[in-house]
Chain A
């Protein structure tokens, strides 16, 4: 097991107070352990952790562009392999949901199809937070963002989240998982497992964003747990294409999770929108049926 006392993501970075992503990254690196080379796309993480001439990274780290982290990681992996360093040193990509499910999709697909030995972890804060809370392909149904605003003719984002974990299962990835920063031990164990699995592995980590979602930054962990408990964030592992573990919960209705965040405020004020809330509940119910998350 890797040494969980190691801190490879240092204090002093510029993340917002209560940032889910920065906590997630700290835990991800504890899971990855020493001897990890990190590749990051452009995004919140890159900007708050590396304003030249400072860096929060105590492990080798490289950023090139918004959409090419997986291709850069492919090159790093190939170089390590050729130099006989691969295995002793491991490659980890950490990117946000915009860089992952949207603009970086081609490079991710290419790298997974080629079977490079690296782990890709997406910290999913469910929008383009770095540029000011615009919708991404990972933004949940009905969330209010600056490019999917709620209004007289709109109830916010009109599409459900793109299911990238399943897309990468279809690529033949040996290990695909979802996790949340709200369950740190589970997250660290999954990262450790992925890093020790040969081939391209993927973990999507729920990382609440107090600024973008509109809640008190002291409640990030609480919000993260609520997402799991209502069924909107199922935590599971898929090994070699087969579902092998699911976090079981005594499910609660989605209402409390939605009410706790300004991005869903329009569903409750000025009047409660029962029809839309029912659609979101249906998404949670579908997750429960698909992954079997209910405690009977």
Chain B
């Protein structure tokens, strides 16, 4: 298919259509709104044969996905920020019930103060929920990761839900050329939903029972193992995706000009694009800088990161989130992954609440890291403090 110029949200909605969910349950919230509006139109126009449930809250949106998935249907929802926070209890519960639900997250800051703009605090705060977390650098990745997420989640060795995260406004509202796969290709890749078990009067089973101390620990262990196994499932299905669609997703992390880099920048999401441009300019000036993009935050690819960074002298992590009272979540985990390697790793919390991050900021951060200055909020307006 030729590239089409589309808004990110519409590209996502069109891709979800191709995945043929039978039940869509969603509640509108900025900047996710265009996705659910797009899907509503698609269903209204008969371009997708699905039940579209207009729920009264995000809490009910994901709850309805639980019911529909347990009843044997492929499901979709999308949300962001406060919506995800309202869903919190259901997020954890749906993962524990091992239901293969795919949910788009148009990443947005968390209130208070109220902000509709981008950072990644919302999905990061759900990092311990047992959902897979994939992050898109651009709209093409947002499209591809939706298809791939269904494939991984519905794998009977995995059976987990997944967030497909893409930065709110920066990707969701931006027009970019994207390659939307054909229906035939997606059908061949995904196939129809084949539930591992379901609510069925012909074969009655109980879902969502309670576990006493004799059993609970094993449930958590099995869940953790499944999240870890998802790394290999991503590699396997990501490779198959590459063979079918020409875009390879067999790696959980991706290096950019990293092979001979002395300074490595680590980032997730759309900021990677800006970083790549900044790296090109710094390389032209003779600076040996590279990027390690993290595409999959859960499971966290610790071994892949340690391996990719083994040769660098300094690491600068860009965190669009903050674990208040500690540091940025990605920075904390990268330090854990690289424990014992002896590489200085500096964390920079930046871009929160939609604060712009430009190439000059990336360059400035490289300078700070080289000087050994880090673990800070970057870009604060001192006059406001």
Q: Does chain B have a CB within 8 A of A270? A: no
Is A61 an interface position by the 8 A CB rule? yes
| 8 Å CB contact of B204 from A51, A61, A67, A107 | A61
Q: How far is the CB of B264 from chain A (nearest CB, A)?
A: 42
Task: Give the distance in Å from the alpha carbon of A55 to the alpha carbon of B205 in the complex.
Answer: 9
Does the CB pair B97–A64 fall under 8 Å? yes
Is A50 close to B, CB under 8 A? yes
A138 within 8 A of B: no
| Complex: A46 Cα to B55 Cα, angstroms | 25
Q: Is A47 close to B, CB under 8 A?
A: yes
Residues of B near A64 (CB, < 8 A) are 63, 66-67, 90, 93-94, 97, 208
Q: How far is the CA of A241 from the CA of B73 in the complex (A)?
A: 34
> Whole-angstrom distance from the CB of B328 to the nearest CB of chain A?
31
Q: Which chain A residue shows the least CB distance to B99? A: A64
Contact of A79 among B72, B205, B210, B212 (CB under 8 A): B72
| Docked-complex contact B71 and A37, CB < 8 angstroms | yes
Does the CB pair B200–A60 fall under 8 Å? yes
- Size band of the interface chain B makes with A: 35 or more
- When each residue 91-120 of chain A gets 1 if its CB lies under 8 Å from chain B and 0 otherwise, what string results? 000000000000000110111011000000
Bound-state CA distance A168–B69 (Å) is 27
Contact indicator B210/A71 (Cβ below 8 Å): no
Contact with A along B279-318 (1 / 0, CB 8 A): 0000000000000000000000000000000000000000
At the interface, yes or no: B57 with Cβ under 8 Å from chain A?
Answer: yes
Q: How extensive is the interface on chain A, given as a class?
A: 35 or more
| Cβ 8 A contact of A72, one of B22, B51, B54, B67 | B67
Closest to A50 in B: B209
Instruction: Name the residue of chain A whose CB is nearest to the CB of B212.
Output: A51
Assess whether A58 is in contact with B68, with CB atoms less than 8 Å apart: no
Task: Return chain B residues, CB-CB under 8 Å to A107.
Answer: 56, 59-60, 63
- Given A37-B201, A57-B206, A79:B22 Cβ within 8 A: yes
Among A51, A65, A89, residue most surrounded by chain B Cβ atoms (within 10 Å): A65
Give complex CA distance A62, B70 in Å: 8
Interface 0/1 of B32-68, CB less than 8 Å to A = 0000000000000000011101111101110111111
Task: Report whether A75 and B23 are in contact in the complex, using a CB–CB cutoff of 8 Å.
Answer: yes
Inter-subunit contact B64/A72 (CB<8 Å) = yes
With most chain A CB atoms within 10 A of its CB, the pick from B51, B94, B211 is: B51
* Complex interface: chain B residues within 8 A of A72 (CB): 63-64, 66-67, 70
* Interchain CB contact under 8 A, B207 and A36: no
From A50, A79, A82, A109, B206 is in contact (CB under 8 Å) with A50
Q: Which residues of chain A in 30-58 are interfacial with respect to chain B, using CB atoms and an 8 Å cutoff? A: 34-37, 39, 46-47, 50-53, 55, 57-58
Q: Are B212 and A78 neighbours in the complex by a CB distance under 8 Å? A: no
- From B59, B64, B212, A75 is in contact (CB under 8 Å) with B64
- The chain B residue sitting closest to A81, CB to CB, is B51
Cα A89 to Cα B94 in complex, Å, equals: 23
State whether B210 touches A46 (Cβ < 8 A): yes
Q: Once bound together, how far apart are the Cα atoms of A60 and B59, in whole Å?
A: 24
Asked if A76 CB lies within 8 Å of chain B CBs, one says yes
Question: Which residues in A have their C-beta under 8 angstroms from that of B207?
Answer: 60-63
Q: A79-B23, A107-B60 are in contact. Are A74 and B67 (CB under 8 A)?
A: yes
Partner of B60, one of A36, A46, A68: A68
Contact A79 B204 (CB under 8 A): no
Q: A36, A61, A76, A111: which contacts B68 (Cβ < 8 A)?
A: A76
Q: Check A82/B93 contact, CB under 8 A, given A58-B204, A74-B55, A89-B201.
A: no
| A287 contacts partner chain B, Cβ-Cβ < 8 Å | no
Does the CB pair A106–B199 fall under 8 Å? no
B222 within 8 A of A: no
Determine the main DSSP class of B at the interface with A: mixed
- Shortest Cβ distance from residue B48 to the other chain A in the assembled complex, whole angstroms: 11
Residue of A nearest to B61 (CB): A71
Q: Across the two chains, which residue of chain A brings its CB closest to B203?
A: A60
Which residues of chain B from 205 to 244 have a CB within 8 Å of any chain A CB? 205-212, 215
Tell me how far the C-beta of B79 lies from the nearest C-beta in chain A, rounded to whole angstroms. Answer: 14
Chain B residue, CB-CB nearest to A74: B64
State the CA gap A62–B67 with chains docked (Å).
Answer: 8
Contact at B93–A78, with CB atoms within 8 Å? Answer: no
User: Given A72-B63, A75-B63, A82-B51, are A62 and B69 neighbors across the interface (CB < 8 Å)?
Assistant: no
Cα distance A53–B57 in the bound complex, in angstroms: 33
Name which of A62, A63, A70, A80 has the most chain B CB atoms within 10 A of its CB. A62
CA distance A143 to B66 in the complex (A): 37
Interface-centre pick from B57, B59, B199, B207 (highest chain A CB count, 10 A): B199
Return chain B residues, CB-CB under 8 Å to A68: 59-60, 63, 66, 90
Specify the chain B residue showing the minimal Cβ separation from A88. B201
The answer to whether the Cβ of A83 comes within 8 Å of any Cβ in the partner chain is: yes
Docked-complex contact A113 and B22, CB < 8 angstroms = no
Q: Could you pull out 15 A-B pairs where Cβ atoms are within 8 angstroms?
A: A39-B67, A62-B66, A67-B59, A68-B90, A72-B70, A73-B67, A75-B67, A75-B70, A79-B51, A79-B73, A83-B71, A83-B73, A109-B56, A111-B60, A114-B55
Question: Given A65-B90, A72-B67, 20 other A-B contacts at CB below 8 A?
Answer: A46-B210, A50-B206, A53-B209, A53-B215, A58-B204, A60-B201, A62-B66, A68-B66, A75-B66, A75-B69, A75-B70, A78-B67, A79-B23, A79-B68, A82-B50, A106-B60, A107-B63, A109-B56, A110-B56, A110-B57
> B residues engaging A (CB < 8 A)?
22-23, 25, 49-51, 53-57, 59-61, 63-73, 75, 89-90, 93-94, 97, 199-201, 204-212, 215
